[in-house]
A and B are shown apart, each in its own frame.
Chain A
Amino acid sequence: MSDYRIKGETGEWEVVIGLEVHAQVTSNAKLFSGAATAFGAEPNTQVSLVDAAMPGMLPVINGECVRQAVRTGLALDAQINTWSRFDRKNYFYADLPQGYQISQFQHPIVGEGEIHITLGEGRTKTVGLERIHLEQDAGKSMHDQSPRYSYVDLNRSGVALMEIVSRPDMRSPEEAGAYVKKLRSILRYVGSCDGNMEEGSMRADVNVSVRKPGDPLGTRCEVKNVNSVRFVQAAIEYEAQRQVEIIEGGGTIVQETRLFDPGRMETRALRSKEDAHDYRYFPDPDLPPLVFDDAFVEALRAELPELPDAKHARYVRDLGISDYNASVLTAEKEAADWFERMLTLSAQKQGKPLTEVARAASNWVISDLFGALNALGKDIVDSPISPEHAATLLALIGDGTLSGRLGKDVFQIMLETGDDPEKIVEERGLKQVSDTGALDTAIAEVLAKNADKVAQYKAGKEALFGFFVGQTMKATGGKANPQVVNELLKAALAG
């Protein structure tokens, strides 16, 4: 249970949150037309006759979108409905060419499922999923292009969306944020949505109500089209506070649709239930019911990639990676893919089993690589260091070719140049010197130059040992293997 509470004048209030996430289905074509779906294209260039609702045009379902919805449902442990149906949601707006949106109102393609979210301090929670349905997106109205006219861009008209509806199971902004992140992660693993919230590929309608703990559900307000995790959380915080203030001020919550204003970080009323549309839903007579068999579903299940929860469990169980590291590495598919490629190569290069290198490799990726990428403001996919080069670096450190310190130097150069570490070591002569002959010479020189200190050391001032080590390292340009230096120095000073 979440202990997130709004502290009001009359006591503590619990926040109840449900999310409807609209995720754009990854597909080359729209839901019911062959038109392309490129983001950022010139207005009205990604529009077919069907998308513009020309007279006599008819929708034909895009099989790829159906597959993506089923794969998403399977990834969320959800009921797959082998019989579903498209309905028309009727309303007039300039960017809705047909005068109706084709959606699945009564019979969605995916039914109940669940998402496991991870919260701070190792807490976890399961959020129920009510349904996923397929629907068309509308176009975009632009009111700021001319003082006299509004313009309409139909590029998005007809683009396939999955509406993923949660149960009102979340109780804090943190939980809602974790839910969106986890959902986004799963969608990206499955490849059914790119999860790009900035480009509008994923946006959330946030349903918020408040109640005294233990009371029945309060009246909810729906905050539409929130397009980042941060805004989802801010909208909940604002909305919960607003509702508590209204109720404690003697008012009642009116069920209404609200907008989130990211500039002011507040919500404001869009329309109330009284002037809500009557959408006059009815089955779309242009589309027969969507029917497929279990074999279709099973074939898709068999092709599903390993999902974050399963991957996390495997990292901990089979690779001995810490729970925290496993969480960080599996959150994004790209990071996990990068790590696993690097891990495999590391084990090969070092001639060791995965389990022996996994822990160190995971630590290196999370602290060294992620830290550096963070500082550079880069994602793992833009990493200047390839998994191959990283594995080579770890192998060079592992076999003693590079000292830890040299390893960090080489890592820095790799970040800047993207070069192969072997090439860097070769070109810059950074190889750690473990050759005892070369080191013996260096040590003899150091001891000869500092005969006075040698005498003091021999007289009992053993703290001077570090000084000799430092001088030897300096003489070898830092390339000496410190362990070997230690041994040789001890022997030389004992003599």
Chain B
Amino acid sequence: MTALTDLTLAAMRDGLRKKDFSAKELAEAHVKAVEAARVLNAFTVETPELALKAAEAADAALAKGEAKPLSGIPLGIKDLFATEGVQSAAASNILKGFKPPYESTVSGKLFADGAGMLGKLNMDEFAMGSSNETSAFGTVINPWRGKGNESLVPGGSSGGSSAAVAARLVAGATGTDTGGSIRQPAAFTGISGIKPTYGRCSRWGIVAFASSLDQAGPMARDVRDCAILLKSMCGFDPKDSTSLDLPVPDFEAALTGDMKGKRVGIPKEYTVDGIPAEIEALWKKGADMLRDAGAEIVDISLPHTKYALPTYYIIAPAEASSNLARYDGVRYGLRETPEGGSLIDMYEATRSAGFGAEVQRRILIGTYVLSAGYYDAYYLKAQKVRALIQRDFMQAFERCDVILAPTAPSAAFGIGANVDDPIAMYLNDVFCVPASLAGLPAMSVPGGLSNDGLPLGLQIIGKPLDEEGVLNAGYAIEQAAGFSARPEAWW
């Protein structure tokens, strides 16, 4: 018999309804898996009691035939989400020990649908990073290992989420994606993840990084599991002024794998210098898979793509520099009060001790680009370029229904490989950032393995609000790729 933790979320859901196993058994199996995998450092807080409590409620509901969509499903929640009474630190020293008296809208919706929480998932500090090496709670280890058995990063910023899903510690996890933070770690760990259209998921209760880009989304074993979780996570929230007041589709029902009549765009600008041949090859293979599923492949152009990364690294830090001003030691979180110091001394000491190097770097960049005399040249120019990037996509979508691209320019790299080179680190997001700037739904699905036996992801970018089209294209690739590789449990 397969271990319960090996089941997909959909199989867990169905097994629970068929009484093949209880929610309690399912939760206990996951709690054990979490305990056994502490070496991965995927969690910042473990909450087995909450998972078991939700399981108890789920078993009672199942017994009465009143199961909710996620009854008994044990999840991990990224540390960026405020969870009531449970430390929500955004993996930062400045919020260590902070237990919010409120629940984020998205995690609250998942729990209202019956899911339980195994714990809070590690991440890059304030979601700033692409390798989960900036966390104040330590680096997360990718369950996949390198050819020489070396430790690899799980991607970032949702690295705890990707590692936990890939290692079968959780049935699924929440992630957030500001410039690739769901898609890139999903690609690095051989799982699926979708960032929906900006505004689909409420940002209320999610620690803000870059407000105009942040978007929550699910990370799970496969496309169907993502569709199931996304349905529970989405929906209008009057507490978020950027939330979209639209009905939530039944995403799972869209998964036919049939691409007939669909046109898939291949953006020529995504062929960047230095991209490994195996990534190029995978991309072509992905196009073939979709063609085989009935799609027509068309060449498209997104001419402003090369400006996306610099644009992103102006807008995101600008917003972050303002969003993170509230961590000042006055009301909650860390407070450092140098003897005899002034208010400004308190700010400086608190923020120096509380923020890690990458967060400080971005606050500095953001403060700089918004400063008098630089605003027009940087922030305002970046906003204009952002509008051009959005226009590129809208024009491209006149010729195609979805866009296919690689998720990341490489497979997972070694821990420490890029920590001294922020530019190299930022380049990890080169394929992810354009869709973020345009607010478009985009997902990563495993497409195959690299020459070193590591998972590689393919990215599907869709029209605004067409998560169904994105998920279905992802599903078609998943069906065709038959990706079944998984990391050997070495932990």
A90 pairs with B326, CB closer than 8 A:
no
Q: How far apart are B36's CB and chain A's nearest CB, in angstroms?
A: 31
Q: Give the contacts of A81-96 with B (CB-CB under 8 A).
A: 88, 90, 92-94
Contact A56-B331, Cβ < 8 Å, known A90-B322, A287-B241: no
Which residue on B lies nearest to A92, using beta carbons? B347
Q: With an 8 A cutoff between CB atoms, is B384 at the interface?
A: no
A53-B331, A55-B100, A278-B371 known; A286 and B204 CB under 8 Å? no
Asked whether B104 lies within 8 Å of A56 as measured between CB atoms, the reply is yes
Whether A58 lies near B322 (C-beta < 8 A) is no
**CB neighbours of A280 from chain B (8 A):** 321-322, 367, 370-372, 375
CA distance A280 to B239 in the complex (A): 26
B198 to chain A, nearest CB (A): 11
Distance to closest chain A CB from B379 (angstroms): 6
Partner of B322, one of A59, A97, A99: A99
Per-position binary interface string of chain A over residues 89-111, scored 1 when its CB falls under 8 Å from any chain B CB and 0 otherwise: 01011100111100000000000
Query: Contact at A54–B102, with CB atoms within 8 Å?
Result: yes
Q: How far is the CA of A150 from the CA of B341 in the complex (A)?
A: 13
Q: What is the chain A residue whose CB lies nearest that of B202? A: A58
Distance from A495 Cβ to chain B, minimum over Cβ atoms (Å): 92
Specify which of B203, B330, B379 is in contact with A282 (CB 8 Å cutoff): B379
Does B47 make an interface contact (CB < 8 A)? no
B132-155 contacts to A (CB < 8 Å): none
Cross-chain contact B211 with A55 (CB below 8 angstroms)? no
The CA-CA distance from A58 to B242 in the complex, in Å, is: 10
The reply to whether B325 and A99 contact each other, CB–CB distance below 8 Å, is yes
Number of interface residues of B (CB under 8 A): 44
A217 at the interface (CB under 8 A from B): no
Q: Is the CB of B238 within 8 A of A60?
A: yes
Query: How many angstroms between the C-alpha atoms of A55 and B100 in the bound complex?
Result: 8
Q: Among B203, B208, B326, B343, which residue has the most Cβ atoms of chain A within 10 A?
A: B326
Is B418 in the interface zone, CB < 8 Å from A?
Answer: no
CB distance from A133 to the nearest CB of B (A): 18
Determine which residue in A56, A60, A281, A288 has the highest number of CB atoms from chain B within 10 A of its CB, and name it.
Answer: A56
The answer, among B241, B326, B347, for a CB contact under 8 Å with A58, is B241
Interface residues of B in 327-382 (CB under 8 A from A): 328, 330-332, 343-344, 347, 367, 370-372, 375, 379
A285 within 8 A of B: yes
Interface residues of B in 95-127 (CB under 8 A from A): 95, 98, 100-102, 104
**Pair A97/B331 contact, Cβ less than 8 Å:** yes
Residues of B within 8 A of A282 (CB): 318, 322, 370, 375, 379
Within 8 A of B (CB), among A423-440: none
Give chain B residues whose Cβ lies under 8 Å from the Cβ of A278: 371-372
Q: Which residues of A contact B242 (CB under 8 A)?
A: 285-288
- CB-CB under 8 A from A6, the residues of chain B are none
User: Nearest CB to that of B88 among chain A residues?
Assistant: A55
Asked if A286 and B241 make an inter-chain contact with CB atoms under 8 angstroms apart, the answer reads yes
Residues of A within 8 A of B370 (CB): 90, 280-282
Q: Of residues B239, B318, B330, which shows the largest number of chain A Cβ atoms within 10 Å of its Cβ?
A: B330
Is there a chain A Cβ closer than 8 Å to B266's Cβ? no
Q: How far does the alpha carbon of A100 sit from the alpha carbon of B325 in the complex, in Å?
A: 8
Q: Is A57 an interface residue (CB 8 A)?
A: yes
Q: For the complex formed, measure the closest distance between the CB of B214 and the CB atoms of chain A, giving whole angstroms.
A: 9
Query: A92 with B325: in contact, given A56-B208, A57-B204, A278-B371 (CB under 8 Å)?
Result: yes
Tell whether A49 is near chain B: CB-to-CB under 8 Å. Answer: yes
The reply to whether the CB of A455 lies closer than 8 angstroms to some CB of chain B is no
Complex interface: chain A residues within 8 A of B321 (CB): 90, 280
Chain A's interface: helix, strand, loop or mixed, by majority? loop
In the complex, whether A61 has a CB less than 8 A from a CB of chain B is yes
Q: How far is the CA of A486 from the CA of B417 in the complex (A)?
A: 117
The answer to whether B102 and A100 touch across the interface, beta carbons within 8 angstroms, is: no
Return A478 CB to nearest CB of chain B, in Å. Answer: 71
Contacts of A88 in B (CB 8 A): 322
Decide yes or no whether B450 CB sits under 8 A from chain A.
no
Contacts of B102 in A (CB 8 A): 49, 54
Q: Does A366 make an interface contact (CB < 8 A)? A: no
Pair B239/A60 contact, Cβ less than 8 Å: yes
Q: Which residue of chain A has the shortest Cβ distance to B368 in the bound complex? A: A280
Q: Is A304 an interface residue (CB 8 A)?
A: no
Q: Which residue of B lies closest to A150 (CB)?
A: B343
CB distance from B450 to the nearest CB of A (A): 37
With the chains together, A49 CA to B98 CA distance in Å? 14
Q: Residues of B contacting A54 with CB < 8 Å?
A: 82, 100, 102, 331-332
Any A CB within 8 A of the CB of B206: yes
Nearest opposing residue in chain A for B126, CB measure:
A55
Q: Does B301 contact A (CB under 8 A)?
A: no
Q: What are the residues of chain A within 8 A of B104 when measuring CB–CB?
A: 56
| Closest chain B CB from A442 CB (angstroms) | 80
- Given A100-B322, A282-B379, A285-B319; A58-B371 close (CB under 8 Å): no
Chain B neighbourhood of A93, CB < 8 A: 343
Could you tell me the distance in whole angstroms from the C-beta of A274 to the nearest C-beta in chain B? 13
In contact, B204 and A58 (Cβ under 8 angstroms): yes
B90 within 8 A of A: yes
B326 touches A98 (CB 8 A): yes
How far in angstroms is the closest Cβ of chain A from B136?
15
Whole-angstrom CA separation of A287 from B242 in the bound complex: 7
Question: Taking A99-B325, A285-B211 as contacts, is the C-beta distance between A56 and B206 under 8 angstroms?
Answer: yes
User: Chain B CB within 10 Å — which of A54, A58, A281 has the most?
Assistant: A58
Within 8 Å by CB of B98, from A55, A97, A99, A100, lies: A55
Among B241, B330, B371, point to the contact of A61 (Cβ < 8 A). B241
A446 contacts B by Cβ under 8 Å: no
Q: Are B208 and A288 in contact (CB under 8 A)?
A: no
- Known contacts: A90-B325, A94-B330. The answer to whether A55 contacts B95 by CB under 8 A is yes
For A89, give the chain B residue with the smallest CB separation.
B322
- B212-243 interface code vs A (CB 8 A; 1 in, 0 out): 10000000000000000000000000111110
In the assembled complex, which residues on chain B have CB atoms less than 8 Å from the CB atom of A297? none
Query: Does B86 sit within 8 A of A, measured CB to CB?
Result: no
B309 sits at the interface (CB 8 A): no
| Contact of A488 with B by CB under 8 A | no
State the Cβ distance, A449 to closest chain B Cβ, in Å. 89
Give A56 to B108 CA distance when docked, in angstroms. Answer: 14
Q: How far is the CB of B451 from chain A (nearest CB, A)?
A: 42
For chain A, residues 55 to 76, give those with C-beta under 8 angstroms from any C-beta of chain B: 55-61
Taking CB atoms, residues of chain A closer than 8 Å to B240 are: 58, 60
Complex contact A98–B325 (CB within 8 A): yes
Q: Does B207 contact A (CB under 8 A)?
A: yes
Closest to B347 in A: A92
Residues of B near A373 (CB, < 8 A) are: none
Q: Which of B90, B318, B379 contacts A55 (CB 8 A)?
A: B90
Inter-chain contact B205/A56, CB cutoff 8 Å = yes
Which residues from chain B contact A61 at a C-beta distance below 8 Å? 241
Q: Is A152 in contact with chain B by the CB < 8 A criterion?
A: yes
Against B, the Cβ 8 Å flags (1 = close, 0 = not) of A17-56 are: 0000000000000000000000000000000010011111
In the bound complex, CA of A52 to CA of B212 (Å) = 22
Show 28 residue pairs from A and B whose CB-CB distance is below 8 angstroms, ordered by the A residue: A49-B101, A54-B100, A55-B82, A56-B100, A56-B208, A57-B204, A58-B203, A58-B239, A59-B241, A60-B241, A90-B370, A92-B325, A92-B328, A92-B347, A94-B343, A99-B324, A99-B328, A100-B322, A150-B343, A280-B367, A282-B322, A282-B370, A282-B379, A285-B210, A286-B208, A286-B211, A286-B241, A287-B241
- The 10 A-B pairs of least Cβ separation, nearest first, read A99-B325, A285-B211, A285-B212, A280-B370, A53-B326, A56-B205, A55-B207, A56-B82, A278-B372, A286-B211
A residues neighboring B (CB under 8 Å): 49, 52-61, 88, 90, 92-94, 97-100, 150, 152, 278, 280-282, 285-288
* Known pairs A54-B331, A282-B370, A287-B242 / 8 extra A-B pairs, C-beta < 8 Å: A49-B101, A56-B206, A58-B239, A280-B375, A282-B318, A282-B322, A285-B210, A285-B211
